[in-house]
Amino acid sequence: MSDSATIHLHPTAELAERVLLPGDPGRALALAQWLLEKPLMFNHHRGLWGYTGKAADGELLTVQSTGMGGPSAAIVLHELVLLGAKRAIRVGTCGALNGELELGELVVAGEAIAADGTSKALGAAERVAADATLTQAMGGEPRTVVSTDLFYEPDPQREHGWRAAGAVAVEMEAATLFAAGELLEIPVGCVLAVSDLLRRQGRERIGEEGLEQAAQATGQVALVALS
């Protein structure tokens, strides 16, 4: 890879064919410690930490952070596929758009409304679907989420439109990863933990302990689907 590449694979490191894709590097480290036996860091370029090790099923699993937003996620997935990745699941957080979801609850994304620029640049239509097999393997009811470029949405009308379109939660990377997966011809899924409740009176944020438990749950669900 060139010096401008996002992932610099260490010469002695291995990359698994199955990959978990958290956004946050710190969460990548935590997931690696929770899920892998003797995880080894293979990448730290641009602060995007990546680890590989044996999971509980005895097979290799890679955990690679993507950073924040679609552009970074698209680059990371593209380079992982060049290095041998075959299946990937985004494990991240989201903001709940309706009153049914609770903090810490898991949302399996069956499709994402493409309200971001990167997925559209990759050719996505208004909605882009997750891989059906991975989605089914994660269990639960597949839900519609919306992917956007803005963590703090300044226009409440956009949130209203997303709710009207059936989205239960908003996040930043799923649509891009689904669209990139289609182009790269690999299955991509997504499971999210609710970290914020978006209400008219303002956001309600999950506590650190609750976030840690929810993140661990996303990793466990994704690992089962990839096994």
CA 11 to chain centre: 27
Contacts (Cβ under 8 Å, ≥6 apart) of 49: 25, 28, 29, 41, 43, 64, 65
State how far the Cα of 25 lies from the Cα of 7, in Å rounded to an integer.
13
Tell me which of 3, 116, 155, 196 is the catalytic residue: 196
CB atoms closer than 10 angstroms to residue 164? 8
Catalytic site includes residue 24: no
Report d(CA 94, CA 211) in Å as an integer: 11
Q: How far apart are CA 138 and CA 98, in angstroms?
A: 22
Catalytic residues: 196
